[in-house]
A and B are shown apart, each in its own frame.
Chain A
Amino acid sequence: MKLYLLPILLSLSFNAFAQTPEQKGFEIALEADRRDTGFHDSTATLNMILRNRQGDESTRVIRSRTLEQENDGDKSLNLFDEPADVKGTAFLSFTHKTGQDDQWLYLPALKRVKRISSSNKSGPFMGSEFAYEDISSQELEKYSYRYLRDEACGDETCFVIERIPKDQNSGYTRQLVWIDQAEYRPQQVVFYDRKDSKLKTLTYRNYRQFLDTWWRAMEMHMENHQTGKSTLLKWSDYAFQTGLSDRDFNRNTLDRVR
């Protein structure tokens, strides 16, 4: 047992043997978060494939860079390569454990960096079925948790936990998350909209382990049950600990990022 878990475990020990579903849910999320820390930084290429109800498709290509922070949410930089008319556009975001995230977009055609109001984080990301809040760093502190049950998921057994966004601007009332018990990786998330109707299902596929430690899903499929549209994220060229630093995540140098 890691030492830093001690205070939490101690605080839970008031009802020592009767762990509440909320406590258990939080612990599962905590363990999942713990297993994903320490990678320092990573880069990857993302192919985003959008499909509408009748199967028409469209692809966007994005290069993604992530930098882990000691005591705050991750920093990320997304560089748009396709479609050609947004090539060179750079999206920088600093997630925070508490409070609103910071987001900037560099528009090469205008040669300007624009701040984006992060109260609007529930809208679609590049016209896809992913909202910004679905693909941004899933910080532990952004939700409250409740353990529901154990359930088979594929060949594995999953914890099913419910998490409720703390942010008033979230597009969701709650999410159900399936986390496998072997490696604590999210396998599926079901999103419920503001009227608590089932809205979307996100399925993680094709997990691969990097540097013998960190698991990444090579495919993430989001299906919107209400509109029949879907989006597939295909990740490739994952690299870890590439030597990125805070200097590479600077709003003032967005115009020079390649």
Chain B
Amino acid sequence: MPNNLSELLIRWRWLAFIAALVIAGLAASGVRFLGFSNDYRIFFSADNPQLLAFENLQNTYTKSDNVLFVLEPANGDVFTAQTLEAVSWLTAQAWQMPYSIRVDSLSNFQHTYAEQDDLVVTDLVSDAAVLDAAELQRIRAVALNEPLLLNRIVSPTGHVTGVNIIVQLPEQDLAAETPEVVNFSRDLAQQLTQRFPHLQVHTTGVVFLNNAFTEMAMTDMRTLIPVMFGIIVLVMALLIRSVWGTLATVLVIMLSIVTAIGAAGWLGIKLTPPSASSPTMMMTLAVASCVHLLVTFLQGMRSGKARRPAMQESLRVNLAPVFLTSLTTAIGFLSMNFSDAPPFRDLGNIVAIGVGASFFYCIAVLPALMLALPVRAKPARNRSVAAMDALADFVVQRRRPVMWGMTALVLLLVAFIPTNELNDEFVKYFDDRVPFRTATDFTTENLTGLYNIAYSLESGSSGGISEPQFLRHLEAFARWYGQQPEVLHVNSLTDTMKRLNRNLHGDDPDWYRLPESRELAAQYLLLYEMSLPYGLDLNDQINVDKSATRFNVFLKSISSESTIGLEQRAQQWLKDNAPASMQVDGASPAIMFSHIGARNIRSMLGGTTLALVLISITLIFALRSWRIGLISIVPNLVPAGMAFGLWALLVGQVGLALSVVTGMTLGIVVDDTVHFLSKYLRARRESGLSPEDAVRYAFHTVGTALWTTSVVLIAGFLVLTGSPFALNSGMGLLTAITIALALVADFLLLPTLLMTLDAKENHETVPVADPVKSVV
């Protein structure tokens, strides 16, 4: 069949060439539907339980998507007329921010106090520019003693202050809405520093987080793809040393990318940082398939063949293995569909399409081009083959120590896998080249955390938030949370209640305690709510039925494990101390990301197993041997195991991005195994060689090709480590390590296993179906 097909491909090469261009053009027209997603929620599937809990909370109260300005005055004190004027100015301007529904700052904090028999509710700061020393002192005293402000809007030393804006995006067109808010905020920050040059302004918040995802995807595409092109040209120049061959390969790569990205557009996929790394991956994989075809073709020309027979021979020899390796690679990437995080499903699907496309373009485009272009083959250097022969001798002669040494190494590394800690801190997805990261780090160190845990605490009855019993539990919970070392700020309704009780008793500090009756508490709230201005109401803290209240805890920069641990301790506290109605799970982006790693590892186990089964079946059919097919599982699985063990020693933290690597690399590392085993079997079956000689033969024939393609793949995935987005750089590095270890396993473990296991039963009789006797 391959014979006929390769003939057909040569005969109808121009038809194939034109068909390829037409198909690429059609697919490419889907690019117009392509967009970037800027919503951290895209990392969660629609039925993710933590996402559902968080959405439920947001729907009950109001949204908490925010922009946070952090103002840092040069003199280290925010309680100056100048800085408070800046805060007032920014607060007023912030109401003009698109989609803003609430602004909280030092200046518009609703300060309450008693005046004769009345409750006065008013902005903490008014007419900031003319404040005298006494008034500044009063404002400082109020702010630094107010639990609602401390570690949220002002630092305990008063050296920085925040202006927090809640935005409610209509979510009609997030691709436009998020940048609209970000651009407005950046412009505002710039105006602020121009008016008040003594201020340093840092901007962060969920909207900036969302925006950073888009900017990362764009940055990656803009910076990594050109680097990747450079590397490909370099590698091709070194490997095949043919200008035309390199250009033809670049064309194949471009067609493959355009096809896959266009198809993504047709499928309605929105690009995210993970899926934006797909072009780099596709380029790497496309090179790997083209190289085989070109190397054989040029070898043929060097050995004196004319172009056409050389190409036909190359197609005949390579069509089946390149198809096979493309198929297994696609299966590996398709396993990412099991991921709980849609961006990785998109990545897997785009790359799988790209791999299929690059196989098609290799066989449809290269023949026409290589036969038409003035390709000349330069003499090859063969130092590598000698080195491979030496390696083969070493492996054959020292097979026992090598096998046991490798086995020991594998077991040792695998033993370290459990020491990997699961961690998905979304702020640390961005490295410190990203402004969002530096601004957020500054905020966490100086003012307040971006990580939080929110609870909708139920009283169990309509209006029950005013019950003294409920308020006492709430107060105790707030006190307990405030004592936890991971916590920066606790926002609880009880602080407002206590303050109102004091205010309505003539500001007597002895009355800074919870109201004693439900009626009193309910009427305080009624009075207070009626006194609050637009946008500063309690609807973000109390549900419509007044049966539940939002309780919010802001955290230091802590790991996923610590977040989960803290929440578990909180659950234990609630179980021990609070009524059943209050026992609700905490919800927040931090909680969602804390569970995403474990969820994805669980879901990817299924995907990876299925990929392994499918790939092993493919190999059993392709190699026509149960035994060899099963032996191949070892070198296919071992690299990922070793890589995660090595990762534990080098980095020690795994998460969302790395959960997909095993499935993804399975399809890539299997290629080496396929090439090695097919040569080994050919030597055994066709030439009747012993396992030892078959191993020597395999090293001699494919050893060079294996390490060169591995180098290409490693280089390609290492390009991803240049990304400032940790999900991509981590994925790139671990994949590169896995591929490198796969080469080690194929050179040291697979041959020794074959010599040991295959030798035990030397009587295997396999019908030689392949009529080709020639040895490449």
Query: Which A residues are within 8 Å of any B CB, using their own CB?
Result: 50-54, 56-58, 80, 83-86, 89, 91, 103, 105, 107-110, 112-117, 119-120, 122-127, 131-132, 169, 171, 193-195, 197, 226-229
**Looking at the complex, which one of A56, A83, A119 makes contact with B60 (CB distance below 8 Å)?**
A56
Known contacts A89-B523, A115-B118, A226-B168: does B534 contact A123 (CB below 8 Å)? yes
**Within the assembled complex, what's the spacing in Å between the Cα atoms of A180 and B542?**
38
**Looking at the complex, which one of B61, B522, B530, B536 makes contact with A116 (CB distance below 8 Å)?**
B530
**Within the assembled complex, what's the spacing in Å between the Cα atoms of A119 and B542?**
23
B522 & A125 in contact (Cβ 8 Å cutoff): no
A57 & B518 in contact (Cβ 8 Å cutoff): no
**Within the assembled complex, what's the spacing in Å between the Cα atoms of A153 and B542?**
36
Asked whether any CB of chain A lies closer than 8 Å to the CB of B62, the reply is yes
**Looking at the complex, which one of B62, B466, B517 makes contact with A227 (CB distance below 8 Å)?**
B62
Asked whether any CB of chain A lies closer than 8 Å to the CB of B688, the reply is no
**Looking at the complex, which one of A83, A113, A123, A169 makes contact with B531 (CB distance below 8 Å)?**
A123
B517 & A54 in contact (Cβ 8 Å cutoff): no
**Within the assembled complex, what's the spacing in Å between the Cα atoms of A172 and B223?**
46
B56 & A122 in contact (Cβ 8 Å cutoff): no
**Looking at the complex, which one of A56, A85, A113, A193 makes contact with B545 (CB distance below 8 Å)?**
A56
A52 & B118 in contact (Cβ 8 Å cutoff): no
**Looking at the complex, which one of B97, B118, B533, B538 makes contact with A169 (CB distance below 8 Å)?**
B533
**Within the assembled complex, what's the spacing in Å between the Cα atoms of A50 and B529?**
15
**Within the assembled complex, what's the spacing in Å between the Cα atoms of A50 and B523?**
18
- Apart from the given pairs A52-B543, A112-B117, A131-B534, 15 other A-B contacts in the complex at a CB distance below 8 Å: A52-B61, A54-B56, A56-B60, A56-B543, A57-B545, A80-B526, A83-B546, A85-B523, A105-B526, A112-B504, A114-B527, A116-B531, A122-B535, A127-B542, A194-B95
A123 & B56 in contact (Cβ 8 Å cutoff): no
Q: How many Å from the CB of B531 to the closest CB on chain A?
A: 5
Interface centre among A86, A132, A169, A171 (most CB of B within 10 A): A86
Q: How many Å from the CB of A167 to the closest CB on chain B?
A: 12
**Within the assembled complex, what's the spacing in Å between the Cα atoms of A195 and B532?**
19
Interface centre among B462, B522, B538 (most CB of A within 10 A): B522
**Within the assembled complex, what's the spacing in Å between the Cα atoms of A155 and B377?**
85
Known contacts A86-B522, A108-B523, A114-B118: does B59 contact A53 (CB below 8 Å)? yes
B529 & A57 in contact (Cβ 8 Å cutoff): no
B523 & A109 in contact (Cβ 8 Å cutoff): yes
In the complex, what residues of B have CB within 8 A of residue A123's CB? 529-534, 536-537
**Within the assembled complex, what's the spacing in Å between the Cα atoms of A126 and B462?**
15
Q: How many Å from the CB of A124 to the closest CB on chain B?
A: 5
> Which chain B residues in 85-102 approach chain A with CB under 8 Å?
95-101
B530 & A85 in contact (Cβ 8 Å cutoff): no
Q: How many Å from the CB of B681 to the closest CB on chain A?
A: 62
The 5 closest A-B pairs by CB, nearest first: A171-B534, A122-B534, A85-B522, A109-B519, A58-B545
**Looking at the complex, which one of A85, A91, A226, A229 makes contact with B519 (CB distance below 8 Å)?**
A85
**Looking at the complex, which one of A119, A120, A227 makes contact with B168 (CB distance below 8 Å)?**
A227
B533 & A120 in contact (Cβ 8 Å cutoff): yes
> Smallest CB-CB separation from A125: which chain B residue?
B530
Asked whether any CB of chain A lies closer than 8 Å to the CB of B120, the reply is yes
> Smallest CB-CB separation from B537: which chain A residue?
A124
B527 & A116 in contact (Cβ 8 Å cutoff): yes
**Within the assembled complex, what's the spacing in Å between the Cα atoms of A115 and B116?**
11
In the complex, what residues of A have CB within 8 A of residue B413's CB? none
**Within the assembled complex, what's the spacing in Å between the Cα atoms of A169 and B538?**
19
**Looking at the complex, which one of B517, B532, B535, B544 makes contact with A58 (CB distance below 8 Å)?**
B544
Q: How many Å from the CB of B676 to the closest CB on chain A?
A: 59
**Looking at the complex, which one of B101, B530, B542, B546 makes contact with A226 (CB distance below 8 Å)?**
B101
B527 & A83 in contact (Cβ 8 Å cutoff): no
Q: How many Å from the CB of B181 to the closest CB on chain A?
A: 12
> Smallest CB-CB separation from B120: which chain A residue?
A117
**Within the assembled complex, what's the spacing in Å between the Cα atoms of A195 and B59?**
24
> Which chain B residues in 10-61 approach chain A with CB under 8 Å?
56, 58-61
**Within the assembled complex, what's the spacing in Å between the Cα atoms of A89 and B529?**
14
In the complex, what residues of A have CB within 8 A of residue B435's CB? none
**Within the assembled complex, what's the spacing in Å between the Cα atoms of A7 and B118?**
43
B537 & A114 in contact (Cβ 8 Å cutoff): no
Asked whether any CB of chain A lies closer than 8 Å to the CB of B148, the reply is no
B530 & A194 in contact (Cβ 8 Å cutoff): no
Q: How many Å from the CB of A101 to the closest CB on chain B?
A: 12
In the complex, what residues of A have CB within 8 A of residue B539's CB? 124, 127, 227, 229
In the complex, what residues of A have CB within 8 A of residue B369's CB? none
B122 & A117 in contact (Cβ 8 Å cutoff): yes
Asked whether any CB of chain A lies closer than 8 Å to the CB of B463, the reply is yes
B517 & A109 in contact (Cβ 8 Å cutoff): yes
**Within the assembled complex, what's the spacing in Å between the Cα atoms of A124 and B466?**
19
Known contacts A56-B543, A58-B546, A124-B539: does B62 contact A86 (CB below 8 Å)? no
Q: How many Å from the CB of B114 to the closest CB on chain A?
A: 10
Q: How many Å from the CB of B525 to the closest CB on chain A?
A: 9
Known contacts A114-B117, A226-B168: does B529 contact A127 (CB below 8 Å)? yes
**Looking at the complex, which one of A126, A169, A197 makes contact with B526 (CB distance below 8 Å)?**
A126
Asked whether any CB of chain A lies closer than 8 Å to the CB of B221, the reply is no
**Looking at the complex, which one of A58, A91, A226 makes contact with B462 (CB distance below 8 Å)?**
A58
> Which chain B residues in 512-566 approach chain A with CB under 8 Å?
517-524, 526-527, 529-539, 542-546
Q: How many Å from the CB of B664 to the closest CB on chain A?
A: 38
Interface string of B59-98 (1 = CB under 8 A from A): 1111100000000000000000000000000000001111
Q: How many Å from the CB of B490 to the closest CB on chain A?
A: 23
Asked whether any CB of chain A lies closer than 8 Å to the CB of B370, the reply is no
Asked whether any CB of chain A lies closer than 8 Å to the CB of B119, the reply is yes
In the complex, what residues of B have CB within 8 A of residue A229's CB? 539, 544
Q: How many Å from the CB of B434 to the closest CB on chain A?
A: 29
In the complex, what residues of A have CB within 8 A of residue B531's CB? 116-117, 120, 123
Q: How many Å from the CB of B232 to the closest CB on chain A?
A: 49
**Looking at the complex, which one of B59, B100, B462 makes contact with A83 (CB distance below 8 Å)?**
B462
In the complex, what residues of A have CB within 8 A of residue B95's CB? 194-195
A86 & B519 in contact (Cβ 8 Å cutoff): yes
Asked whether any CB of chain A lies closer than 8 Å to the CB of B633, the reply is no
**Within the assembled complex, what's the spacing in Å between the Cα atoms of A52 and B547?**
13
**Within the assembled complex, what's the spacing in Å between the Cα atoms of A229 and B63?**
12
In the complex, what residues of B have CB within 8 A of residue A124's CB? 529, 532, 537, 539
In the complex, what residues of A have CB within 8 A of residue B462's CB? 58, 83
Interface centre among B524, B529, B542 (most CB of A within 10 A): B529
**Within the assembled complex, what's the spacing in Å between the Cα atoms of A117 and B538?**
17
Known contacts A110-B520, A115-B118: does B530 contact A89 (CB below 8 Å)? no
In the complex, what residues of A have CB within 8 A of residue B623's CB? none
In the complex, what residues of A have CB within 8 A of residue B537's CB? 123-124, 127
In the complex, what residues of A have CB within 8 A of residue B56's CB? 54
Known contacts A50-B544, A52-B544, A226-B99: does B532 contact A120 (CB below 8 Å)? yes
In the complex, what residues of B have CB within 8 A of residue A197's CB? 98-99
Q: How many Å from the CB of B504 to the closest CB on chain A?
A: 6
**Within the assembled complex, what's the spacing in Å between the Cα atoms of A107 and B170?**
39
Known contacts A52-B60, A127-B537, A127-B538: does B504 contact A110 (CB below 8 Å)? yes
Asked whether any CB of chain A lies closer than 8 Å to the CB of B121, the reply is yes
**Within the assembled complex, what's the spacing in Å between the Cα atoms of A228 and B60?**
10
CB pairs A–B below 8 angstroms (25 shown): A56-B60, A56-B545, A83-B462, A85-B466, A105-B530, A109-B517, A110-B504, A112-B504, A114-B504, A117-B120, A117-B121, A117-B122, A119-B122, A119-B533, A120-B532, A124-B529, A126-B529, A132-B530, A169-B533, A195-B98, A226-B101, A226-B168, A227-B63, A227-B168, A227-B539
